[in-house]
């Protein structure tokens, strides 16, 4: 409990610091511009059209309303241009580095920078409208807090890129684990930003965080299935039993893994159905991962007619074996068997057992088709034929009355 209390205190202090920083930034933002422009607006009230400009709407002179509108519109229209120049300058600096991570960060910062100019536009408009009060400051500081956490969020794509590159260099680490960590970080940024906004509105953040700690047990009991799915997803990513894009069969569902989320695993079946399986089931069920085989088995039996001589059967089996041993699509380091193994009711069976050197379904079918055609050529070359299910009936003697009729 002491550790939890310390974490809550540290989180509360960090949130208060972010909120106070946003308020201090707001006090210093574009204040000099209003003080310099307002004297020129005052001259309108003493000019030829002063009696029009001095008219008030809700207690605000028309001249200041017009100035607020023009200032807001001017900043909004220029924000894309200003953002473009700022990002170009930042990209010019980042292009001097070898990594691409800083380029990703700059590109992601475009929207927070653009949103900052919206805040400036509102601030200017409020100043010209003489609305510099507690409520407008609360509104602007809330927007600024959102923008600060938006900047934090903009770093997560670069973090995702870094983790992806690291997992590519270290095959024992999965991309899915990196994606999961980034999702957790993004959730924490959004959650902390929400709490900061609440603090800015005067809500007691310490009590709020303490209530979360006290309610943790009740929440865990109420959401035990969700917690089980969450821990199941962590187990899947640490074990690396499945990855996105792999062909698996789990809990009776067979298909391609499209996503491994925090709660569920999404599988696209070969019938193109979309199946969502809870991670707790995936983690606690036997998983058959076909993509990790590397090879695929060919197991079949061909039947020759009963009038095929034994020497011909031996010759056919030997030629099939030699064909498979030299075939480029066969895994030659795996088991290979071609044997005349049984007398079936309608044929003489030759058992064939081998493996292709690929697990890709389409390539596997191409190899199997080629092997089947070569087997047909071998059988035809040796002057025999494939048998088909048949039945012979031998009649020893017909009744005398039927013989007389015939």
- Distance, CA of 111 to CA of 113 (rounded, Å): 5
Based on the domain organization, do 106 and 169 belong to the same domain? Answer: yes
Contact 69, 122 (CB under 8 A): no
* Phi (first) and psi of residue 268, to 5 degrees: -100, 115
Query: Does residue 345 sit within a domain?
Result: yes
**Could you count the other beta carbons within 10 Å of the beta carbon of residue 371?**
21
Which of 169, 188, 209 finishes a domain?
209
Contact 101, 161 (CB under 8 A): yes
What is the phi-psi region of residue 202: left when phi exceeds 0, alpha when psi lies from -120 to 50, beta otherwise?
left
Based on the domain organization, do 147 and 77 belong to the same domain? Answer: yes
Based on the domain organization, do 199 and 92 belong to the same domain? Answer: yes
Query: Does residue 186 sit within a domain?
Result: yes
Closest CA to 338 of 326, 328, 349: 349
Residue 7: the pLDDT is 47
**Could you count the other beta carbons within 10 Å of the beta carbon of residue 169?**
8
Domain that holds residue 162: 2-209
Query: What secondary structure does DSSP assign to 151-204, as a single string?
Result: HHHHTHHHHHHHHHHHHHH-TTS-HHHHHHHHHHHHHHHHHHHHHHHHHHTT--
The CATH number that applies at residue 282 is: 2.30.30.60
Task: Provide the CB-side half-sphere exposure for 183 (13 A, CA).
Answer: 13
Query: Does residue 227 sit within a domain?
Result: yes
Closest CA to 370 of 354, 383, 347, 348: 354
Structure token pair of residue 108? 């992601």
Residue 3: the pLDDT is 45
The CATH number that applies at residue 358 is: 3.30.70.100
Element (DSSP H or E) covering residue 293: none
Based on the domain organization, do 100 and 139 belong to the same domain? Answer: yes
Query: Does residue 400 sit within a domain?
Result: no
Based on the domain organization, do 248 and 345 belong to the same domain? Answer: no
Structure token pair of residue 203? 């809500």
Based on the domain organization, do 130 and 271 belong to the same domain? Answer: no
Which of 238, 258, 292 finishes a domain?
292
The helix/strand/coil state of 339 is strand
Based on the domain organization, do 305 and 285 belong to the same domain? Answer: no
Which of 161, 180, 209 finishes a domain?
209
Query: Does residue 242 sit within a domain?
Result: yes
Based on the domain organization, do 92 and 138 belong to the same domain? Answer: yes
- Distance, CA of 105 to CA of 94 (rounded, Å): 10
Q: How many domains does the chain have?
A: 3
Closest CA to 317 of 330, 302, 328: 302
Based on the domain organization, do 276 and 370 belong to the same domain? Answer: no
Query: Does residue 92 sit within a domain?
Result: yes
Query: Does residue 404 sit within a domain?
Result: no
Based on the domain organization, do 304 and 369 belong to the same domain? Answer: yes
Which ranges of the chain have pLDDT less than 50?
1-4, 7, 26, 214, 405-406
Based on the domain organization, do 174 and 58 belong to the same domain? Answer: yes
Based on the domain organization, do 121 and 67 belong to the same domain? Answer: yes
What is the DSSP secondary structure assignment for residue 330, as one 8-state letter? B
Query: Does residue 387 sit within a domain?
Result: no
What does pTM read for this prediction? Answer: 0.56
User: Any idea what the Cα angle at residue 279 is, between residues 273 and 283, rounded to 5°?
Assistant: 115
């Amino acid at each position: 409990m002491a550790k939890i209390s310390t974490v809550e205190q540290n989180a509360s202090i960090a949130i208060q610091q972010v909120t106070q920083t946003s308020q201090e930034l707001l006090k210093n933002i574009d204040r000099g511009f209003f003080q310099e422009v307002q004297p020129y607006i005052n001259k309108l009230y003493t000019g030829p059209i002063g009696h029009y400009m001095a008219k008030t709407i809700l207690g605000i002179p028309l001249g200041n309303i017009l100035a607020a509108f023009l200032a807001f519109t001017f900043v909004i229209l220029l924000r894309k241009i200003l953002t473009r120049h700022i990002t170009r300058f930042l990209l010019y600096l980042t292009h001097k580095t070898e990594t691409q991570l800083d380029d990703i960060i700059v590109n992601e910062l475009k929207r927070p920078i653009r949103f900052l100019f919206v805040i400036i536009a509102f601030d200017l408009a409020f100043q010209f409208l003489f609305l510099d009060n507690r409520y407008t400051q609360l509104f602007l500081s809330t927007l600024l807090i959102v923008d600060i956490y938006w900047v934090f969020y903009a770093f997560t794509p670069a973090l995702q890129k870094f983790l992806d590159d690291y997992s590519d260099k270290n095959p024992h680490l999965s991309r899915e684990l990196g994606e999961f960590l980034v999702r957790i970080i993004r959730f924490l940024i959004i959650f902390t930003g929400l709490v900061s906004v609440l603090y800015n509105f005067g809500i007691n953040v310490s009590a709020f965080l303490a209530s979360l700690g006290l309610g943790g047990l009740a929440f865990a009991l109420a959401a035990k299935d969700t917690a089980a799915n969450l821990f199941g997803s962590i187990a899947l990513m640490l074990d690396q039993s499945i990855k996105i894009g792999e062909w698996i069969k789990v809990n009776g569902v067979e298909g391609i893994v499209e996503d491994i989320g925090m709660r569920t695993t999404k599988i696209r079946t070969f019938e193109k159905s979309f199946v969502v399986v809870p991670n707790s089931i995936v983690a606690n069920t036997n998983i058959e991962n076909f993509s990790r085989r590397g090879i695929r088995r060919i197991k079949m039996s061909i039947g020759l007619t009963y009038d095929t001589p034994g020497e011909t059967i031996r010759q056919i089996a030997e030629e099939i074996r030699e064909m498979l041993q030299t075939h480029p699509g066969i895994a030659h380091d795996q088991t290979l068997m071609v044997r005349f193994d049984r007398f079936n009711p309608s044929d003489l069976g030759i058992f064939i057992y081998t493996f292709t050197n690929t697990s890709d379904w389409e390539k596997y079918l191409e190899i199997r088709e080629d092997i089947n055609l070569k087997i047909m050529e071998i059988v035809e070359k040796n002057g025999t034929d494939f048998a088909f299910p048949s039945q012979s009936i031998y009649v020893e003697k017909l009744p005398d009355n039927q013989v007389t009729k015939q």
